């Protein structure tokens, strides 16, 4: 009887995986924490989506990229995190096909979040480093095309990384009750981490340097024209704020993504579905909860939009025309 209770599928004595029991308190804590993060991710990104979609003033190329990022992060909270919570269980009961499709969907959504961040960094690079040509180069139509290409790229990468698993679901399971996939590590590392992270870092470093130099030049010009101390201090504060915001963006992103991929680079074999792997994956997913805070909470229009949403004022006629800037 004890032997049967320790199997995921007691009726399959010879091929079923063993069920490893965990303390009830530990399981409850994991469920509460991960469910809270999932719910918070959904709520925060829904607020971003409603804000940018509803108010006409926010229909700009930059905000369209923020909207695309919010959609991918919303899907992380709504679809990816709940299934990842199921993967913390000792047994998988949803079958091999659902297992592979779950990972396939996860790769697409998380990849789109990363690529959207790359697009945002490109947008900010052009806006700060080439402001005169920004209106002609970054248009709504071009941004829409880039967003579509972003999702197509992510579907292609996911298919490439999980091709063997999609062709024959469950081929890498050692017993019934497992959800194990084989990932082409080199391809995943290059397409999902090295290329996007390198691009983001290079562009943001360039943006940071240009922003600081422009602020210093402006401060020098103001100092030459007028001796008003208050103006100079204001420019200095603006310079420091820009530097701080850019530092937060890059640091938080790297903190969330580096642990998993650094382990991959080290050559250490991380078992799919192991507690360590699940923890590192959830740290990556946590970035989707932090993105709306980093990219949206820093904008005054977002706080005003949230107030209008919470007070249900957006349901009033012509509320989309309200000035939120």
Answer yes or no: is pLDDT of 2 > 50.
no
Q: Summarize pLDDT for 79-115 with one digit per residue, the tens.
A: 888 887 777 777 888 888 988 998 899 889 988 988 8
Q: What is the pLDDT of residue 236?
A: 47
Q: What is the pLDDT of residue 167?
A: 87
Dist CA 212 CA 218 (whole Å): 10
Find, among 116, 93, 126, 72, the residue nearest to 16 by Cα: 93
Q: What is the pLDDT of residue 233?
A: 45
Topology adopted by domain 24-193+270-321: Rhopdopsin 7-helix transmembrane proteins (1.20.1070)
- Can you tell me whether residue 7 is helix, strand or coil? strand
Tokens at residue 311, please? 């007070």
Q: How many CA atoms within 13 Å lie on the side-chain side of 8? A: 18
Q: Summarize pLDDT for 215-270 with one digit per residue, the tens.
A: 666 666 655 555 444 444 444 455 455 556 666 777 788 888 888 777 767 666 55
Dist CA 275 CA 233 (whole Å): 50
**How many CB atoms neighbour CB 21 within 10 A?**
10
Answer yes or no: is pLDDT of 45 > 60.
yes
- pTM value? 0.83
Domain ranges for the chain: 24-193+270-321
Whole-Å CA distances, 295 to 6, 77, 120, 305: 47, 17, 10, 14
Q: Summarize pLDDT for 280-305 with one digit per residue, the tens.
A: 878 888 888 888 888 667 778 888 88
């Amino acid at each position: 009887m004890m032997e049967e209770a320790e199997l995921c599928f007691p009726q399959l004595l010879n091929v079923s995986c063993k069920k490893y029991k965990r303390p009830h308190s530990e399981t409850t804590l994991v469920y509460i924490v991960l469910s809270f993060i999932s719910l918070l991710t959904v709520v925060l990104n829904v607020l971003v989506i409603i804000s940018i979609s509803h108010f006409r003033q926010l229909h700009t190329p930059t905000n369209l990229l923020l909207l695309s990022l919010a959609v991918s992060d919303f899907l992380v909270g709504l679809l990816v995190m709940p299934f990842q919570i199921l993967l913390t269980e000792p047994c998988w009961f949803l079958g091999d096909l659902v297992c592979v499709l779950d990972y396939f969907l996860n790769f697409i959504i998380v990849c789109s979040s990363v690529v959207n961040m790359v697009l945002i960094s490109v947008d900010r690079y052009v806006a700060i480093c080439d402001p005169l040509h920004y209106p002609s180069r970054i248009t709504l139509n071009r941004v829409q095309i880039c967003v579509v290409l972003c999702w197509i790229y992510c579907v292609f990468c996911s298919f490439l990384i999980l091709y063997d698993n999609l062709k024959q679901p469950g081929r890498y399971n050692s017993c019934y009750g497992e959800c194990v996939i084989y990932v082409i590590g080199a391809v995943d590392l290059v397409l999902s981490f090295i290329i996007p992270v390198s691009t983001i870092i290079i562009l943001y470093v360039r943006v940071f340097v240009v922003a600081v130099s422009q602020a210093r030049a402006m401060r020098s010009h103001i100092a030459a024209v007028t001796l008003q101390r208050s103006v100079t201090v204001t420019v200095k504060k603006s310079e420091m704020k820009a530097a701080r915001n850019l530092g937060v963006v890059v640091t938080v992103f790297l903190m969330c993504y580096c642990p998993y991929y650094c382990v991959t680079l080290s050559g250490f074999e991380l078992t799919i579905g192991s507690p360590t792997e699940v923890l590192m994956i959830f740290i990556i997913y946590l970035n989707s909860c932090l993105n709306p805070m980093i990219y949206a909470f820093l904008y005054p229009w977002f706080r005003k939009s949230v107030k209008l949403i919470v007070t249900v004022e957006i349901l009033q006629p012509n509320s989309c025309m309200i000035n939120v800037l």
